[in-house]
């Protein structure tokens, strides 16, 4: 059996270790005809770095002798383009730059110095010693880059520039230090702006040594800022024909499971729920699985004959700090936080237009905030062209952002370990009352949260966020069952916890404080009980409980206060 290439980004290493590899080389000719200077965004851990190493191996003129070993059995081996092995490769991966604001420029200089030096060593036979002598006289990264491109062009060669994680350190500085420090890098005399100015100028010159560029990252914001509106090349991230360039299709995942003898384990539905449903164009026909998550899952399953303890690989998590500066201003939650909460409530957004480029000043505009969530992989297109949360992994991340947002501004902060223990008792012992009473008591103690708990939907989302601190349950909202729509359905996660005994149907009722009366409360409770009896007869509820006990709970709130907590 071929090893799973989990955690391996280098295409050459994948081939050397004879790992399982899904051939994407049929996209090479397509990209050549798409344009010379390409900018491609995908969420974390979708295979961007690995794809750049495919391009490096294919186009590098120093790897002519390796071509058969690297590409035999792939599409491009039988269908090579005239540009095969015809470029000098200049690589940058800016995740190697220290993002500390007082060290970033020095780190950038040191990192790019290494890139220019080892480029010279690799192609010394073509460049000659003159390259090193003249390079020593250049002091700045943009000066050295400009010289390199002119020098190579003078010799009649072309460079393919590959830039990975182009926005890594700028995003970190923006989210941790702020816009002023970020602007110093990307505006005016900022060193990063000058670096990209050289790329812009080289792309326009007839005798430049630049032949092609491929730039990747997770956001278009930095590129818009350093190029004054993104005019360095084609932004191809939203092209429907490139939807499948990175990631796995459903058939790809089926093939992987079959290759490793796992097709009879009924793993596909579980993997679809957690890792599928990414579409990177409103016109894309197929949904995509996250590459890393599929490999992570299969790797764990082969070693343990069970799903991983944590269904979400830490490598794919978008750090809360990357969004914090968009939602928190002067220790207060702003409109973007409210909008994020609204998206979590409905699992989708009314905005369906993804903006291809926007400057940092416009990030707080709602359409740009939605676009950023899309580029981060937190929203994705449906087959109908709407934008929604794609899968259970992203739902869990969204719930954690909601909790972190409340904690960040001291609105609501609970003992999470205590809550985890209570939810475990709820799952295994049917002790449900303690969970809701714990949260209700904390709301009474922490008065700041009360301003946010207005309306049934908001309270429903609040409970979602805190009931999701463990993964014992797949918590579903507004699911159609028994000719109605349940507020919260806590479905046991039997794919991982086979011994769970309890599932929960929860109906919420809300009465404003000004309208509250005992009579109205009784009416709402009676209505909730009727609905719950109806939901409990649903065939899917019975099937998904797998013989366990289905507990029906009615919760009546007046404002922020839990007035009734009753089993029906």
Same domain, 378 and 426: no
For position 335, what pLDDT does the model report?
82
Residue 230 in this model has a pLDDT that exceeds 60: no
Read off the tokens for 503: 């599932």
More confident residue, 564 or 480: 564
Domain count, the chain: 4
**What's the Cα-to-Cα distance from 117 to each of 49, 83, 91, 104, 145, rounded to whole Å?**
22, 25, 12, 20, 11
For position 320, what pLDDT does the model report?
77
* Percentage of the chain lying above the pLDDT 90 cut: 75
Using DSSP, state whether 367 is helix, strand or coil: helix
Provide DSSP, 414-467.
--HHHHHHHHHHHHHH---HHHHHHHHHHHHH-GGGGGG--SHHHHHHHHHHHH
Same domain, 64 and 162: yes
Residue 50 and residue 8: Cα distance in Å, rounded? 8
* Percentage of the chain lying above the pLDDT 70 cut: 99
For position 229, what pLDDT does the model report?
55
Secondary element (H or E) of residue 176: helix 168-176
Classify residue 530: in a domain, yes or no.
yes
* Predicted confidence band of residue 316 (pLDDT cuts 50, 70, 90): confident
For position 330, what pLDDT does the model report?
61
For position 351, what pLDDT does the model report?
84
Classify residue 155: in a domain, yes or no.
yes
Q: How far is CA 50 from the centre of its chain?
A: 17
Same domain, 290 and 429: no
Among the listed residues 327, 331, 350, the one whose alpha carbon sits nearest the alpha carbon of residue 401? 327
Using DSSP, state whether 387 is helix, strand or coil: strand
Secondary element (H or E) of residue 477: strand 473-481
Same domain, 428 and 326: no
Query: What pLDDT digit, counting tens, does each position of 110-156 carry?
Result: 999 999 999 999 999 999 999 999 999 999 999 999 999 999 999 99
Could you tell me if 232 and 196 are in contact, meaning their C-beta atoms sit under 8 angstroms apart?
yes
Same domain, 18 and 50: yes
More confident residue, 351 or 401: 401
Same domain, 399 and 477: no
Classify residue 1: in a domain, yes or no.
no
Q: What is the pLDDT of the chain when averaged over all its residues?
A: 92
For position 481, what pLDDT does the model report?
85
Same domain, 258 and 224: no
* Predicted confidence band of residue 329 (pLDDT cuts 50, 70, 90): low
For position 178, what pLDDT does the model report?
84
Same domain, 276 and 146: no
Classify residue 386: in a domain, yes or no.
yes
Same domain, 405 and 536: no
Helix ranges (DSSP H) in 39-140: 48-59, 67-71, 75-78, 104-122, 124-127, 130-136
Classify residue 196: in a domain, yes or no.
yes
Domain boundary among 409, 444, 468: 409
* Mean pLDDT of all residues in 428-433: 96
Domain boundary among 212, 237, 262: 237
Looking at the DSSP assignment, which residues form a beta bridge with residue 216?
40
* Predicted confidence band of residue 365 (pLDDT cuts 50, 70, 90): confident
More confident residue, 327 or 196: 196
Residue 350 in this model has a pLDDT that exceeds 90: no
Provide DSSP, 91-109.
EEEGGGS---TTTHHHHHH
Residue 40 and residue 17: Cα distance in Å, rounded? 28
Same domain, 405 and 443: no
* Mean pLDDT of all residues in 176-191: 87
Same domain, 154 and 187: yes
Q: Are β-strands 88-93 and 159-164 bridged in parallel, bridged antiparallel, or unpaired?
A: parallel
Classify residue 244: in a domain, yes or no.
no
Query: What pLDDT digit, counting tens, does each position of 235-248 carry?
Result: 999 999 999 999 99
Same domain, 29 and 77: yes
Classify residue 2: in a domain, yes or no.
no
Rg over alpha carbons for the chain, rounded to the nearest Å, is: 27
Classify residue 4: in a domain, yes or no.
no
What's the CATH number where 216 sits?
3.40.50
CB count in 10 Å sphere of residue 138: 16
Query: What pLDDT digit, counting tens, does each position of 209-227 carry?
Result: 899 999 999 998 888 888 8
Domain boundary among 409, 431, 462: 409
Residue 228 in this model has a pLDDT that exceeds 90: no
Q: What is the domain range of residue 52? A: 11-237
**Range name among 61-75, 104-118, 191-205, 548-562 with the lowest pLDDT average:** 191-205
């Amino acid at each position: 059996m071929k090893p799973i290439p989990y955690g391996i980004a280098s295409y050459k290493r994948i081939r050397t270790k004879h790992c399982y590899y899904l051939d994407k080389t049929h996209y090479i000719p397509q990209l050549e005809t798409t344009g010379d200077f390409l900018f491609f965004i995908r969420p974390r851990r979708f295979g961007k770095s690995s794809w750049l190493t495919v391009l490096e191996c294919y186009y590098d003129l120093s790897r002519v002798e390796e071509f058969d070993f690297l590409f035999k059995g792939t599409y491009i081996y039988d269908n090579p383009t005239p540009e095969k092995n015809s470029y000098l490769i200049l690589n940058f991966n800016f995740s190697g730059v220290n993002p500390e604001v007082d060290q970033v420029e020095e780190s950038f200089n040191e990192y790019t110095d290494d890139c220019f030096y080892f480029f010279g060593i690799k192609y010394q036979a073509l460049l000659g010693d003159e390259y090193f002598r003249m390079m020593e006289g250049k002091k700045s990264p943009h000066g050295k880059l400009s010289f390199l491109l002119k020098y190579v062009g003078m010799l009649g060669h072309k460079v393919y520039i590959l830039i990975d994680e182009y926005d890594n350190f700028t995003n970190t500085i923006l989210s941790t230090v702020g816009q002023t420090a970020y602007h110093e890098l990307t505006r005016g005399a900022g060193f990063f702006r000058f670096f990209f100015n050289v790329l812009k100028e080289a792309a326009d010159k007839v005798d430049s040594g630049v032949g092609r560029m491929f730039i990747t990252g997770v956001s278009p914001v930095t590129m818009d800022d350093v190029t004054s509106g993104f005019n360095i090349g084609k932004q191809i991230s939203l092209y429907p024909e490139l939807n499948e360039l990175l990631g796995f299709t459903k058939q790809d995942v089926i093939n992987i499971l079959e290759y490793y003898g796992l097709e009879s384990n009924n793993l596909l539905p579980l993997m679809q729920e957690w890792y599928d449903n990414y579409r990177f164009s409103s016109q894309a026909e197929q949904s995509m699985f996250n590459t890393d998550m599929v490999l992570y899952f299969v790797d764990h399953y082969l070693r343990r004959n069970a799903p991983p303890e944590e269904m979400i690989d830490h490598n794919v998590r978008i750090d809360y700090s990357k969004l914090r500066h968009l939602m928190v201003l002067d220790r207060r939650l702003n409109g973007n936080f409210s909008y994020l909460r609204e998206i979590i409530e409905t699992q989708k957004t009314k905005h369906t237009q993804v903006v291809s480029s926007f400057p940092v000043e416009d990030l707080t505009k709602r359409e740009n905030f939605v676009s950023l969530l899309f580029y981060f992989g937190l929203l994705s297109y449906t087959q109908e062209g709407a934008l929604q949360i794609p899968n259970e992994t992203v739902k869990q991340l969204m719930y954690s952002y909601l909790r972190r947002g409340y904690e960040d501004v001291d609105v609501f902060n609970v003992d999470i370990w205590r809550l985890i223990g209570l939810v475990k008792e709820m799952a295994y012992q049917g002790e449900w009352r303690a969970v809701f009473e714990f949260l209700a008591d904390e709301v009474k103690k922490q008065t700041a949260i009360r301003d946010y708990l207005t309306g049934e939907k908001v309270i429903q989302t609040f409970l979602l966020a805190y009931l999701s601190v463990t993964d014992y349950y797949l918590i579903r909202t507004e699911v159609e069952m028994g000719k109605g729509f349940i507020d919260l359905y806590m479905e046991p996660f039997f794919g991982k916890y086979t011994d769970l005994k309890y599932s929960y149907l929860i109906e919420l009722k809300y009465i404003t404080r000004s309208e509250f009366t005992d009579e109205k409360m009784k009416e709402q409770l009676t209505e909730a009980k009727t609905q719950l009896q109806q939901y409990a007869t649903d065939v899917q509820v019975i099937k998904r409980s797998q013989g366990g006990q289905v507990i029906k709970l009615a919760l009546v709130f007046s404002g922020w206060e839990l007035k009734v907590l009753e089993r029906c």
